[in-house]
Amino acid sequence: MPRYFTDEHEWIDVEGESATVGITDYAQEQLGDIVFVELPSVGTMLDKGGDAAVVESVKAASDVYAPISGEVTEGNEALEEEPALVNSSPEEDGWFFRMTIGDKAELEGLMDDKGYKAFVEAL
Amino acid sequence: MSDQPIEEDEPLEAIELGKLPLDAWHRDHGARMVPFAGYEMPIQYEGIVAEHEWTRSSASLFDVSHMGQLALRSPENDPELAARELERLLPGLITSLKPNKMRYSMLLTEEGGVIDDLMVTNVGPHLALVVNGACKWDDIAHLREHLADEVTLTHYDDFALLALQGPEAGDILEELIPGTGALTFMTADLFEYDDGHIWVSRAGYTGEDGFEISVHEGSVAKLADVLTSDDRVKPAGLGARDSLRLEAGLPLYGHDLTLETDPVSADLTFALSKKRREGGGYLGHGPVMEAFNNGPAAKRVGLKIEGRMPAREGADVFAGDTKVGVVTSGGFSPTLGQPIAMAYVDAAYAEEGTELICQVRKKSLPATVTSMPFVAHKYFRGN
């Protein structure tokens, strides 16, 4: 299952016609203790680069952007009870939402694992 | 993802940031540094919540050297002059402040607006003032403009200020500097340390027992090392300081106190001494007394918010469909496990228990007006 990354520190797993989105370990580290995640409701149409979710850490609210365009099909309900999953398991159990892939071509501009690693190291 | 900085009062790009005496010490201890009050300062070390909880359960060391440490000295033929002069600029009773006692007060404009909040201590030979870092240059200008020329104003910019805060702070400092444990809340004294003098105040801004320690910049790294070599002490940053003071119901200048607020609307009438209310003679006395006698139009209140989504500074507060106020600081309370906030609301909605709504990104969060502090103060007032 290929995983892509954005320069806004979101990751996106692509599985057939569906994708799972979350924020990277680097992102959660920067945000600190996460106390609330506001997820888009199922059926929301997302535009690539547009607002998708909001992460509330103790210190600030931060926007999470849609890595691609598509429709939200599921939100991670576990985050409602335990938002700290984003800190403890950002790239697995702390996923944010699943969505359809509106346009596969939009994936092409994203980074792969290696590219993202280099991107973070250069920050 | 965009990370909004915690402080965005000033456009900082153009300002060269200053370095505090412990700059290297913070970096060596893994601090994440951010611009604050014109300096690079530690916002956190291991994490805000961990530092917050450690302060509430043991003791934390905060560097608050950005704050302005000032002294007002009277001419020798009139030792009371500095106190009388300072009283013209604030609503507290300073002339009767006994040696080694401290008082919280506010510098006011003619309209009663708050220029800054500050601590005034009678050091004996002079008055010591501790003012907010972001306001200190304006405060100095204001003081110099209004105080009689014979009053000498000194800015101790070669002194650092450390805060040791938490339930273990009393024992820890007494072991290191005998005698400090006998200080009670809002008293202060001079002690010897490292062949020099340090000034220790039993005060702070976390709601916990603790001290603020004024120490020369040449000795501060050694003192920070000695304090943190104690297993009960860990360094804590501005992030935890902010969540702690919010739980303690303590207003933060630039957010909960501004030129547009006055001591009455800020619900700080304890700082309006009775004698000064009656006698007047300070900038802003008229407008402040009008608000005191007739009630303020709006009042600072505490809000407990349902759910987990914090309402932050700038969030509108509604009663039904009517906007009745705005949040001035808010966040998630680690101690209570829920969001809390301070807001200014129309006086009619300021009563404890009033049900209000905070509007956050089109979501309506139920909120209840709550008495402050949100978390009880644990000041040491003597055995």
Q: What is the pLDDT of residues B299-355, one digit of tens each?
A: 999 999 999 999 999 999 999 999 999 999 999 999 999 999 999 999 999 999 999
- Whole-angstrom distance, CA of residue B184 vs CA of residue B181: 8
The two structure tokens encoding residue B134: 């972001």
Sort out which chain A residues have CB atoms less than 8 A from B6's CB and list them.
Answer: 59-60
Sort out which chain B residues have CB atoms less than 8 A from A38's CB and list them.
Answer: 309, 361, 363
pLDDT at A6 over 60: yes
pLDDT (average), residues B213-230 = 97
Q: Which SS3 state, helix, strand or coil, does residue B204 take?
A: coil
Closest CA to B48 of B199, B213, B246: B246
pLDDT band per the 50, 70, 90 thresholds, residue A103:
very high
pLDDT band per the 50, 70, 90 thresholds, residue B77:
confident
Q: For B126-153, what is each residue's pLDDT tens digit?
A: 999 999 999 999 999 999 999 999 999 9
List the alpha helices (DSSP H) in chain B.
23-28, 48-57, 81-87, 136-146, 169-176, 220-228, 238-247, 274-279, 285-294
Q: Is A9 in Cβ contact with B6 (below 8 Å)? A: no
CA of B338 vs chain A CAs: smallest distance (Å): 9
Q: Is B363 in Cβ contact with A38 (below 8 Å)? A: yes
Give me the pLDDT at residue B8, please: 46
Closest CA to A108 of A45, A26, A14: A14
How far from chain centre, in Å, is Cα A102?
A: 16
Q: Is A83 in Cβ contact with B44 (below 8 Å)? A: no
pLDDT band per the 50, 70, 90 thresholds, residue B6:
very low
CA of B8 vs chain A CAs: smallest distance (Å): 12
pLDDT at B4 over 70: no
pLDDT at B1 over 80: no
Give me the pLDDT at residue B362, please: 87
CA of B214 vs chain A CAs: smallest distance (Å): 28
pLDDT at B14 over 90: no
Give me the pLDDT at residue A59, please: 81
pLDDT at B11 over 80: no
The two structure tokens encoding residue B381: 């007032």
Q: For B281-308, what is each residue's pLDDT tens digit?
A: 999 999 999 999 999 999 999 999 999 9
* Percent of chain A with pLDDT strictly greater than 70: 100
* Percent of chain B with pLDDT strictly greater than 90: 92
Task: Determine which helix (DSSP H) or strand (DSSP E) holds B104, and give its type and residue range.
Answer: strand B102-108
By mean pLDDT, which of A38-42, B101-105, B379-383 is the weakest?
Answer: B379-383
- Whole-angstrom distance, CA of residue B329 vs CA of residue B300: 11
Q: For A37-63, what is each residue's pLDDT tens digit?
A: 999 999 999 999 999 999 999 888 999
Tallying the residues shown for chain A, one arrives at 123
Q: Is B242 in Cβ contact with A32 (below 8 Å)? A: no
Cβ–Cβ < 8 Å for B89, B283: yes
Backbone angles phi, psi at B213, to 5 degrees: -120, 115
A71-89 in b/e form (b: 16+ CB < 10 A) is ebeebbeebeebbebbbeb
**Predicted ipTM?**
0.84
* Sheet order of strands, A61-65 included: A34-38, A51-57, A61-65, B2-3
pLDDT (average), residues B185-212 = 95
CA of A95 vs chain B CAs: smallest distance (Å): 15
Closest CA to B117 of B109, B125, B126, B108: B108
* Mean pLDDT, chain B, whole residue set: 95
pLDDT band per the 50, 70, 90 thresholds, residue B7:
very low
pLDDT (average), residues B67-96 = 96
Which residues are within 8 A (CB) of B156 and not within 5 positions of it... i.e. 6 or more apart? Answer: B69, B70, B71, B214
Interface probe with B: pick from A59, A65, A77, A123, most Cβ of B within 10 Å = A59
Which residues are within 8 A (CB) of B59 and not within 5 positions of it... i.e. 6 or more apart? Answer: B164, B165, B166, B167, B168, B169, B172, B210, B232, B233, B234
Task: Determine which helix (DSSP H) or strand (DSSP E) holds A73, and give its type and residue range.
Answer: strand A70-75
Cβ–Cβ < 8 Å for B215, B198: yes
Give me the pLDDT at residue B383, please: 75
pLDDT (average), residues B114-135 = 96
Q: B238-247 and B48-57 are packed helices; what angle lies between their axes, rounded to 10 degrees?
A: 60
